[in-house]
């Protein structure tokens, strides 16, 4: 009887391979939880990927924003969800690497998530609104030195990648500035364009629409090499700060209880999505590079980032406050 059952199951797998594949996907709507307000880089990329997955899986893929605490509210929420694949996290450098090294969070970033795929690594852009007097890094350093503790820089939250980039800049330039944290890049960019704040090291993904429209000015980018989408914008290294690199990364992860087979199936589909010409175009325009690959690649990447940022924060004496 057991042998007959096995033979029957094997025959079904051969006859209906799509049925077997479908068993490794959620049975209903899928939510991608974003830890920041709408309009930020994490939100933008989640919607690009989510729309294509919805079409591919023939089900609703809903992007849900749970903003606050540099993305850790969303990460904590997803960590506690069932492992049925119905809830995914748009994982982010803040919630998965920086903030857990800065302060106590209610989850274990290294153990409470099942990696699915790395979506991309982007530079940050040092930006200002069009009314600011300093529109080069050199002029900005001089402005900060002439006005110690008075020039404002917005970020997506205390302990965010933008905040850490500002801390790196202040340390390297030997200047003091005001840090103004927000609940994501969306509201921060609104205030930057409106003149409430002056500058930001924001994610290239979130800043790009405003730079392209002329409402924001890009002074510099923060990877060692210029990305093709911003070939005319110098790096911080080229602007007098050799070795300066501050990136933001995004990926998809589920709760640790998610079966590995499901994570791998999702990984295959998301890799296909990221190779679609229109998605590739959007990723390139946002400066997103190095995405794709296996679940193991993303897991190894996150572990390396957690170790790296824990050391930087400890050695630099960076505190969570302001």
27-121+248-316 and 123-230: same fold? yes
Number of residues that this document lists for the chain: 322
| Tokens encoding 200 | 């930001």
CB atoms under 10 Å from CB of 181, counted, come to 17
- Domain boundaries along the sequence of the chain: 27-121+248-316, 123-230
Whole-number pLDDT of residue 22: 53
Domain 123-230: CATH class, spelled out: alpha beta
Distance (Å, rounded) from C-alpha 92 to C-alpha 112?
14
Q: Write down the mean pLDDT value for the chain.
A: 91
Closest by Cα among 46, 57, 26 to 92: 46
More confident call, 190 vs 18: 190
**Residue 33 · residue 89 · CB < 8 Å:** yes
Whole-number pLDDT of residue 225: 93
Whole-number pLDDT of residue 318: 77
Contacts (Cβ under 8 Å, ≥6 apart) of 215: 129, 130, 193
Residue 71 DSSP class:
G
> CATH assignment of 27-121+248-316?
3.40.190.150
Confidence of residue 17 (pLDDT cuts 50, 70, 90): very low
Mean pLDDT of 243-261: 95
More confident call, 203 vs 320: 203
Angle at the Cα of 284 from the Cα atoms of 74 and 52, rounded to 5 degrees? 55
Distance (Å, rounded) from C-alpha 272 to C-alpha 267?
9
List, for residues 30-78, the tens digit of each pLDDT value: 999 999 999 888 999 999 999 999 999 999 999 999 999 889 999 999 9
Percent of the chain that is helix, strand, coil (3-state, to 5): 45, 20, 35
Give the range among 13-27, 58-72, 160-174, 198-212 with minimum mean pLDDT.
13-27
List, for residues 87-98, the tens digit of each pLDDT value: 999 999 999 999
Mean pLDDT of 248-254: 96
- Residue with tokens 């594949």, as numbered in its chain: 21
Distances (CA, A) of 96 to 87, 256, 261: 17, 14, 22
């Amino acid at each position: 009887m057991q042998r007959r059952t096995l033979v029957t199951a094997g025959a079904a797998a051969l006859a209906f391979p799509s049925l077997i594949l479908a068993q490794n996907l959620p049975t209903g709507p899928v939510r991608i939880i974003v830890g920041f307000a709408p309009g930020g880089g994490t939100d933008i990329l989640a919607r690009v990927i989510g729309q294509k997955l919805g079409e591919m899986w023939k089900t609703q893929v809903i992007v849900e924003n749970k903003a606050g605490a540099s993305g850790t509210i969303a990460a904590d929420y997803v960590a506690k969800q069932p492992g049925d694949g119905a809830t995914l996290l748009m994982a982010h450098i803040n919630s998965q690497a920086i903030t857990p090294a800065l302060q106590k969070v209610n989850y274990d970033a290294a153990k409470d998530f099942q990696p699915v795929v790395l979506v991309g690594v982007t530079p940050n852009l040092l930006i200002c609104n069009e009314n600011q007097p300093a529109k080069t890094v050199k002029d900005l350093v001089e402005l900060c030195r002439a006005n110690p503790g008075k020039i404002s820089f917005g970020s997506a939250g205390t302990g965010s990648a933008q905040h850490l980039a500002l801390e790196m800049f202040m340390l390297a330039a030997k200047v003091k500035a005001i840090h103004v944290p927000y609940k994501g890049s969306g509201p921060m960019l609104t205030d930057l364009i409106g003149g409430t704040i002056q500058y930001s090291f924001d994610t290239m993904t979130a800043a790009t629409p405003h730079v392209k429209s002329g409402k924001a000015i890009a002074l510099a980018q923060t990877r060692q090499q210029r990305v093709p989408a911003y070939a005319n914008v110098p790096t911080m290294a080229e602007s007098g700060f050799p070795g300066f690199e501050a990136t933001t990364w995004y990926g998809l992860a589920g709760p640790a209880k998610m079966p590995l087979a499901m994570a791998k199936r999702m990984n295959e589909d998301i890799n296909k999505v990221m190779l679609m010409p229109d998605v590739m175009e959007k990723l390139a325009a946002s400066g997103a590079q190095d995405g794709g690959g296996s679940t193991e690649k993303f897991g190894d990447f996150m572990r390396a980032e957690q170790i790296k940022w824990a050391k930087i924060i400890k050695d630099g004496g960076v505190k969570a406050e302001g």
